[in-house]
Amino acid sequence: MGTVVDTLIRSIFDRTVQNRNGSVADYIPELAVVPPDSFGICVATVDGHVYEAGDTRLPFTIQSISKPFTYALALADHGADVVAAKIDVEPSGEAFNEISLDPLTERPRNPMINAGAITAAALVAGPDVDTRFERIRRTYSRYAGRALTFNDFVYASESRTGHRNRAIGHMLRSFDIIAGDPDEAVDLYIRQCSIDVTCRDLSLMAATMANNGVNPLTQDKVLAPDLVERVLSVMSTCGMYDGAGKWLYEVGLPAKSGVGGGVIAVLPGQIGIAIYSPRLDSHGNSVRGVEACRALSKELELHFLHVTREARSAIRARYSVTDTPSRMRRTPTERATLDDVGTRSRIYELHGDLLFAGAETAVREIGGSEEGLDAVVIDVRRVDEVSRIACRMIEALRADLAERGCAIAFVDPAGLLGNTRSDLSASAGRVYADLDGAVQWCEDILLDRHCGNARQTPSVAVTEHPVLSSLSPRQLEQFNENLETRNYGRGEYIVRRGDSACGLFLVLSGQVSSTVTDQSGAVHRIVTLSAGMSFGEVTLILGSHFLNDVRAHTPVTVAVLTADRYAEMTSAEPELKLALLERLASGAYEQLDVMLRSLLQQGAGR
């Protein structure tokens, strides 16, 4: 079943196939006899999906599209400085096969014209020409994701007619640009041009460049990212020969063409494009290839200088703990304090690729927040990539906030910001795997600074438990007689999902967490309760089963009114039971209010 992209590519194919301008490269006899109206379009994504239309599996020789890949191999063999001493990177403004050097530097003007490409081939490391060619063929194969083959007929044809390239080779030797036999260097260049590819192969070779040098199908790391940048830079300004300026203006993609009829284009981080159509224009570029790339760039908005709407801000959402309380149940006094000072906190959710532009806008907003913030949380779970400069900017932001007395925490389970553990120093930046833990940390910071009394105590006596606060002394004495005390170690289950109603649990010391486990095995916290709080009310009243697990978060002591004792109260102590039910209903409503605020905000922001 076709997608919207399939339909769009087919539409461009159908429009472009009508163009029969241009002619095949007749100066190489074997290229003059190819079917002139063959036509294929491929678009390969950086996750390995390939969209195809037309003659995408028809073999043809790579020709000058080989140039950026051999240039990349020379860079990998010798480093940028050594290669730069032999080949410049400036547009030539001349035909691709011009017999000339830059008059000032006396070097080939760039590696995309024949003089520069022959020099790059001569720089490929190896003890002899056969070994060096085999390295080139294997390298191209790694980009394509399959073993590419050599076309003897095209090689023989080019060798017989390659007098101009030999003249370029001897010119390079006379200026000491290449060492050794110039005919051997030219022969190696002709061999690399005679490797057979398909349109699909070229799209994956381009996608490997788009994917920072990693083949999207095989995950083979073919080229280092810093060298990918250098190669794509030269392709941007020189890849389409003396038509490069117009190409960059209209299409806006690093590209390379070949007289065999192929064209590749690269949108870094997104896609690789390949077109095959043998009819060439006066610059030596495929007529249909240029037209199809122009249409793809316009209709898919691929121009690499096009700024998307999403690029305006990396901040997806911003809010405070007043809007999104944690699932730690607080005392009424603590809750009132958080309602009052919650705006002194801020949670920022970031998304997309956090490169320079996105990081700059986010850091500028976060750092420019009004004075008086006590705590900031930066959530990067929806960020796909973080550049090194973005990490440095966020670290500078952390230091600046700490100096202003504002603590900072990150929700960064994948360690995108380089934090692999949580530092116990608040100023150094805590790291959390989930947002709820970070929001609770935010609340604790605010409560430590602004709630001087009536904080949650580490333990309470049964007679002081808030659930029993509305009971008369006589009722309290009666109720206490019905309780039994239990102790649980950290991590121990108190009840499990599916257990029948087993009682009302009053937490006297420590903390318990109510959790659910999803189908993937991930555990999600519903709420954490501490001394003076309770659980099991609903299942006890309804006589139902537990829908969640409850386990000790720390060593815990609880007082339990068992289900049997609760049932006996109906006839033996009806007034006590009624008073207890009223208090439990009030507490349940307060708990539901807090939980809904948390869930609604977190659901809306995600």
DSSP letters spanning 216-266:
TTT--B-S-HHHHHHHHHHHHHHTTGGGHHHHHHHT-S-EEE-TTSEEEEE
Q: What is the DSSP letter of 459?
A: B
Distances (CA, A) of 377 to 335, 344, 391: 20, 12, 15
At 281 the three-state DSSP class reads coil
Question: How far is the C-alpha of 314 from the C-alpha of 385, rounded, in Å?
Answer: 12
* Structural tokens at position 15: 């429009």
Domain 310-450 top-level CATH class: alpha beta
Q: Among 266, 331, 276, which Cα is nearest to 303's?
A: 266
In single-letter form, the type of residue at position 228 comes to: V
CB 196, CB 59: distance < 8 Å: yes
* pLDDT confidence of residue 454: 65
Q: Among 496, 513, 494, 503, which Cα is nearest to 580's?
A: 503
Question: How far is the C-alpha of 498 from the C-alpha of 495, rounded, in Å?
Answer: 9
Q: What is the DSSP letter of 214?
A: B
* pLDDT confidence of residue 535: 87
Residue ranges with strand state E in 114-254: 196-197
* pLDDT confidence of residue 22: 94
Place of tokens 């990349």: 72
* pLDDT confidence of residue 605: 45
Handedness of CA 181, 186, 189, 193 (dihedral sign): negative
Domain 4-299 top-level CATH class: alpha beta
Domain 462-604 top-level CATH class: mainly beta
Which residue ranges of the chain lie beneath pLDDT 50? 1, 310-311, 424-427, 601-602, 604-606
Residues marked active site are found at 64, 67, 189, 241, 259
Q: Does the predicted model carry a pTM greater than 0.95?
A: no
Q: Among 441, 428, 304, 333, which Cα is nearest to 377's?
A: 441
Question: How far is the C-alpha of 24 from the C-alpha of 154, rounded, in Å?
Answer: 14
Q: Is 136 exposed, middle or buried (0-12, 13-18, 19+ CB in 10 A)?
A: buried
* Structural tokens at position 239: 């890849």
Q: What ranges do the domains of the chain cover?
A: 4-299, 310-450, 462-604
What does the CA dihedral 550, 551, 553, 556 come to, rounded to 10 degrees? 110
* Structural tokens at position 580: 């207890």
Q: Among 444, 391, 113, 145, which Cα is nearest to 272's?
A: 145
